[in-house]
Structure 1
Amino acid sequence: MAATPAYWFVVLPDRDLAPGLLGRLRDLAGRAVLRTVPHASGRPWLAGCWPDEELAACAVGDVRLAVAGTCSLQPAELAARARQISQSAHIEPVLRDAHGCFHLLASVAGHTYVRGSFSGQRRVYRAEAGGGTVCASHARVLARLTAAELDTAQLALRLTGDTIAHPLGWDALWRGVHAVLPGTAMELTPGGEVRTRRWWQPPAADLPLDEAAAGLREALERAVASRVRPGEVVGADLSGGMDSTSLCFLAAQAGARLVAVTLDAGAPTNEDRLFATRAAGHLPGVEHLVFASADLPAQFSGLDECVDPGDEPSAIVRTRVEQRYLAGQMRAHGARLRLSGFGGDQVIQSPPSYVHGLLRRSPVAGLRHAAGWRARHRRPLGALTKALLDRGSYAAWLTEAAGMLRTPVSGDDLRWGLRPSLPSWASERAVQLCRERLLGAARDAAEPLHPERGRHAWLASAQRGGRLAGPLAHRGQLDRLPYHSPFCDDAVIAAALAARPHEAAGPWSYKPLLAAAMHGLVPEAVLRRTTKDHFGYEWHNGLRHNRRTLAAWAEDSRLVAAGLADEDALRRALLSPQLLLGGTAEFETTLGVEAWLRGLEHPHTPDGTREMNSAPTTR
């Protein structure tokens, strides 16, 4: 059974529940003190464990309002907004201009309201407990509260990695624990009724580049300013790329004292250090720390460490120890938090499938962009034409994908997104489970995030960034240095999505929207950069360094035990990953799922003591 995270909360309806529910929540808190906040009726509304700086709540008459996470509203402003609320329909309008990444919680006239972020970095889960529906910030909390078993089908879906199809990637990995889809809120009524309400709508994608860039600049400025204070020391990644470099300059503009970290890769052609050093020369008072990859812990180190696995598998196991070391260096230089450019790739540029809609609105421009993408990715003319002429529904695409799980994905998909694909070592049972879930979603008429496939793909990409930012924030908690990804803030996503898709991305320029937004702040040499380096040398060196651990996993795989991987095929992959044809992503995804299952066998309580629980069961 999974351990309770160090920070969590449960949202309870304003009605009488089983008298033992609070006692069970106190048991989940372990040695920590269970904190509670009441409804106006006196019944418990919020219960959990959180530091003061993580959750701000106010009470104004019969209204209770709280935000958990990073929010631009100060406590006095939050109380002023609460005074404008008399029914649950007022909640979102009065907080529409709040910036950050946060949960929004409210209790109004007996109605309980809870939602996370549209990006999916802040999530909400629900389950039946104590005779009613309760919500929580973490799936693990509800899994422990309800003694839930692992859902093997959800584990199988996680083997598809970044190609997991909407909305299948959002649900929890425990039976009976369900996700509230990002962009929707949960309302619990006093009578026990459960309602979902859509609170987030994408902006119209009609702003010309200069106007959209100005909006993105303002949103990023506010996102960074809500996290840093003048004179405080802030750690920041300075990779040499456009995303992280932009945040460094925005943090400096907000008055932060920067401790910027750059990795110097072993490949002689890698240009990251060159561009990072150029940028650092323009940052006032920056303390620039450059680390040669040879002096850092090898990638894939610490695979066998017993660490809190989080709510779900994550592919960041490759650099976990390396990043922990860098976080320690930032803390040693006084940093109180860490800014990361993670999410920029997913948020500020539209995937190439925007061409499908552009071709119908403006055929000449659409054909020009299609030709550009074809040349850039060397796509066969027949495949490109077929994708652009396709008019199939999202349900039809899910049905087709269900029959092609064994077929490798190649190139950019100009249809509804990257098609779900399983690695070659996935078992027939894993294929069947994934196929059933995809067909089930198609039968249930799963709706895309937007009727236009290019728009859907961009929204799904932004949420993919948010979904992956969650584990990074969790890692920041473990590393004792809060990890922030401002590109995944909802306001930043909305500002980016307001741009015309064919101007926010294109085959002839790199991240034109962000380059226009940062013009005059970030050095032009960085904004004109078109290359994106990799750490291939470090990847292979890490595999060699950790060969024994990988060999041990090959002989005692939890994925094999769960029936989700073929033993011989997985052994070949783990012992000779350098020979894989499917690329590094599917290998790291599989390692993430294997590591997560192993982590559940050795859960730790928030204070670090090991719990004496049996291994989780699957069915």
Structure 2
Amino acid sequence: MGATSACWFVVLLDRDLSPGLLDRLRNLAGPAVLRVVPHASGRPWLVGCWPDEELTACAVGDVRLAVAGTCSLKAAELAARARKIRDTAHIEPALSDAHGCFHVLASVAGHTYVRGSFSGQRRVYRAEAGGGTVCADQARILARLTAAELDTAQLALRLTGDTVPHPLAWGALWRGMHAVLPGTALELAPGGEMRTRRWWRPPADELPLDQAASGLREELERAVALRVRPDEVVGADLSGGMDSTSLCFLAAKAGARLVTVTMDAGAPTNEDRLYATRAAGSLSRIEHLVFESADVPAQFSGLDERVDLGDEPSPIVRTRVEQRYLAEQMRARGARLRLSGFGGDQVIQSQPSYVHGLLRRSPAAGLRHAAGWRARHRRPLGAITRALLDRGSYAAWLAEAAGLLRTPVAADDLRWGLRPYLPPWASEQTVQLCGERLLGAARDATEPLHPDRGRHAWLAAAQRGGRLAGPLAHCGQLARLPYHSPFCDDAVIAAALAARPHEAASPWSYKPLLAAAMHGLVPETILRRTTKDHFGYEWHNGLRRNRQTLAAWAEDSRLVAAGLADEDALRRALLSPQLLIGGIAEFETTLGVEAWLRGLEHQYTLDDTREMNSAPIAR
């Protein structure tokens, strides 16, 4: 379908819109067939390109109901739920026991309803086009539909990586475009009136560890079984860590035949292969593929490939070609999808800031946990004390963060979460733009995801996992092997959040909630593992192998052209990344933004004849 993604949809109001709107959507579809699902009135409701298995829709009277993505409800079940709907307030109760990761789309007596997932892996954007509000699951579809300019301030925020705070993390990268925040739905009346409805709320965090673990095990089993059919070949990552290994055992329990991949890192102390081999030895009907770094494309390969990199930059650019190669190996052995443990780190353990609330509810336990985290991360007593005594609001924290964008922060922040931090090569304009957005959110008295800062930090972390899982799923599309992250299913997130925070994470044990949930299924040697390895050798080797591309980027940076990076400082980083002290995550984030901007130049197509050399950037 030309420059657009292979799977997308837009949602149209039940009113007469510009007659040229459908023609523009057909241009976006290119050679692919444009699919249209009508409102009860006969006007177009859902328009786009998708395979049959991606979207299920039904019609019952004047109700139209659809789910897009991985959902437990099939066509007949969906129709049965649609019969319970009389107005938009009935939609979520009718779907309350559905599980998976999916959009919900409805048209009820002319009123349109659309939402994504709480995790943020499935998103919704809106913009004005054709005389009314148009929604889509992908921002770049709306950008091409409306010829929108890139938003420099949003690009600047992306240089802080995955620490962009709520709600700024969800902003679209084009002007005139608005994100529907995860956990809320958009309702549109035929006349164009608009309102949002909150449809997702976290459960109470009061279950003891054993009960919460039982609920998590049940939801993970459902999430995996939803994607796995007995005797079918399924690809899966088997890193040797607890998250991916748990999914492999759950898939085997569901009857899958597994093709698993393990990367054997070059570091002599790396233990991933050891633990992965132990796990594979306890699984039946498995083909376990182990790859050394010399077997696969080097990291940072393909930086200059002209591919659709999605709605926003992602550090996945580092391993994109490597992951495509691994997907090809799994697909060649019959795999029809790939399971990933991605999101487990963010979803199944609370963040250290839970100590703030624990200290007030149970001072003795709070002091003990604070001392444990201090010892584990070797933090100064003064820093711990100041964080725990702080009672500032979320808005005050955002305002403070605006003035500290160049000040590094410890990863285990005990306040409202990870404070945004810009790399040293960010320009003064970038600092100013980011600061303005943070101060704007503070002035608007932005509410946190939860009044309790520990709860907020856990919810934000779960959504961060979902936000980063989106590029993984897009990478799976490019590799023609669907990529699934069951830990990012909303029902799995809710099950994890039901645990008592000080039991779901601990300075003295590793992922205690997941370990308890997988007890009796995953070998204890895996559940007791406390190490987490890295690919430092592969990282540096990949940079050496691709230094010519990095040198070319240093001389012709799109970030520098946009005024977002200091030319000399960025050149030093790109030409000598091996000299970076810390800052590796910031370096990868910057490469992701640079690659995204370059990729956009080659795919920003508005119709069959007009190819733009670069996407316009709003100053």
TM-score (norm. length: structure 2):
0.98
Counterpart-to-counterpart distance in 2, 1:584 and 1:252? 36
2:169 counterpart residue number: 169
Name the aligned partner's letter for residue 524 of structure 1. Answer: E
1:144 counterpart residue number: 144
Name the aligned partner's letter for residue 401 of structure 1. Answer: A
1:294-373 to structure 2, matched below 5 A, reads 294-373=294-373
1:316-465 to structure 2, matched below 5 A, reads 316-465=316-465
Is 2:251 the partner of 1:217? Answer: no
Deviations 1:34-65 (A, max 9, x none): 11001111111100111101000001111100
Following superposition, the deviation at residue 616 of structure 1 comes to: 1.0
Name the aligned partner's letter for residue 528 of structure 1. Answer: R
Name the aligned partner's letter for residue 613 of structure 1. Answer: M
Deviations 1:368-422 (A, max 9, x none): 0000000000010011000000000000000000000011122411000111110
1:198-277 to structure 2, matched below 5 A, reads 198-277=198-277
Following superposition, the deviation at residue 131 of structure 1 comes to: 1.1
Q: Per the alignment, do residues 131 and 604 of structure 1 end up closer, same or farther by CA in structure 2, a change over 3 Å counting?
A: closer
Following superposition, the deviation at residue 3 of structure 1 comes to: 3.5
Deviations 1:271-302 (A, max 9, x none): 00000000001111111011111211110111
Counterpart-to-counterpart distance in 1, 2:411 and 2:295? 35
Following superposition, the deviation at residue 544 of structure 1 comes to: 0.7
Secondary structure at the aligned position of 1:169 is classed as: helix
Deviations 1:452-502 (A, max 9, x none): 000000000000000000000000000000000000000000000000000
1:174-185 to structure 2, matched below 5 A, reads 174-185=174-185
Q: Per the alignment, do residues 294 and 56 of structure 1 end up closer, same or farther by CA in structure 2, a change over 3 Å counting?
A: same
Aligned 8 A contact 2:423 2:583 in 1? no
2:89 counterpart residue number: 89
Aligned 8 A contact 1:116 1:122 in 2? yes
Misfit runs of 4+, over 4 Å: none
Counterpart-to-counterpart distance in 2, 1:295 and 1:261? 12
Counterpart-to-counterpart distance in 1, 2:20 and 2:555? 44
Secondary structure at the aligned position of 1:235 is classed as: strand
Secondary structure at the aligned position of 2:93 is classed as: helix
Name the aligned partner's letter for residue 91 of structure 1. Answer: I
Counterpart-to-counterpart distance in 2, 1:573 and 1:614? 27
Aligned 8 A contact 1:205 1:499 in 2? yes
Counterpart-to-counterpart distance in 1, 2:532 and 2:114? 39
Secondary structure at the aligned position of 2:617 is classed as: coil
Name the aligned partner's letter for residue 126 of structure 2. Answer: R
Following superposition, the deviation at residue 614 of structure 1 comes to: 2.5
1:54-133 to structure 2, matched below 5 A, reads 54-133=54-133
Following superposition, the deviation at residue 603 of structure 1 comes to: 1.2
Name the aligned partner's letter for residue 251 of structure 2. Answer: A
2:615 counterpart residue number: 616
Aligned 8 A contact 2:185 2:196 in 1? yes
Counterpart-to-counterpart distance in 2, 1:233 and 1:584? 36
Secondary structure at the aligned position of 2:249 is classed as: helix
Name which of structure 1's ranges 489-498 and 17-26 shifts more when overlaid on structure 2: 17-26
Aligned 8 A contact 1:68 1:104 in 2? yes
Following superposition, the deviation at residue 605 of structure 1 comes to: 7.7
Aligned 8 A contact 1:150 1:175 in 2? yes
Following superposition, the deviation at residue 76 of structure 1 comes to: 1.1
Aligned 8 A contact 1:71 1:99 in 2? yes
Q: Per the alignment, do residues 213 and 304 of structure 1 end up closer, same or farther by CA in structure 2, a change over 3 Å counting?
A: same
Counterpart-to-counterpart distance in 2, 1:296 and 1:617? 37
Counterpart-to-counterpart distance in 2, 1:615 and 1:571? 22
Secondary structure at the aligned position of 2:227 is classed as: coil
Secondary structure at the aligned position of 2:331 is classed as: helix
Counterpart-to-counterpart distance in 1, 2:452 and 2:297? 45
Aligned 8 A contact 2:236 2:339 in 1? yes
Name the aligned partner's letter for residue 547 of structure 1. Answer: R
Aligned 8 A contact 1:40 1:62 in 2? yes
1:538-557 to structure 2, matched below 5 A, reads 538-557=538-557
1:505 counterpart residue number: 505
Secondary structure at the aligned position of 1:42 is classed as: coil
Calculate the aligned-residue CA RMSD, in Å.
1.3
Secondary structure at the aligned position of 1:442 is classed as: helix
Aligned 8 A contact 2:604 2:611 in 1? no
Name the aligned partner's letter for residue 245 of structure 1. Answer: T
Following superposition, the deviation at residue 109 of structure 1 comes to: 1.1
Counterpart-to-counterpart distance in 2, 1:527 and 1:415? 30
2:577 counterpart residue number: 577
Counterpart-to-counterpart distance in 1, 2:404 and 2:604? 39
Counterpart-to-counterpart distance in 2, 1:588 and 1:224? 31
Aligned 8 A contact 1:602 1:610 in 2? no
Name which of structure 1's ranges 473-482 and 186-195 shifts more when overlaid on structure 2: 186-195
Aligned 8 A contact 1:262 1:291 in 2? yes
2:524 counterpart residue number: 524
Is 2:474 the partner of 1:474? Answer: yes
Aligned 8 A contact 1:153 1:433 in 2? yes
TM-score (norm. length: structure 1):
0.98
Aligned 8 A contact 1:3 1:604 in 2? yes
Counterpart-to-counterpart distance in 2, 1:579 and 1:510? 32
Name the aligned partner's letter for residue 155 of structure 1. Answer: L
Q: Per the alignment, do residues 507 and 285 of structure 1 end up closer, same or farther by CA in structure 2, a change over 3 Å counting?
A: same
Name the aligned partner's letter for residue 132 of structure 2. Answer: G
Q: Gapped runs of 5+ residues in structure 2?
A: none
Following superposition, the deviation at residue 610 of structure 1 comes to: 11
Name the aligned partner's letter for residue 412 of structure 1. Answer: D
2:566 counterpart residue number: 566
Counterpart-to-counterpart distance in 1, 2:290 and 2:341? 17
Deviations 1:213-257 (A, max 9, x none): 000000000000110100110000000000000000000000011
Aligned 8 A contact 2:118 2:182 in 1? yes
Name the aligned partner's letter for residue 332 of structure 2. Answer: A
1:10-29 to structure 2, matched below 5 A, reads 10-29=10-29
Following superposition, the deviation at residue 604 of structure 1 comes to: 7.7
Counterpart-to-counterpart distance in 2, 1:464 and 1:314? 12
Counterpart-to-counterpart distance in 2, 1:403 and 1:264? 42
Secondary structure at the aligned position of 1:397 is classed as: helix
Counterpart-to-counterpart distance in 1, 2:323 and 2:468? 16
1:283 counterpart residue number: 283
Secondary structure at the aligned position of 1:590 is classed as: helix
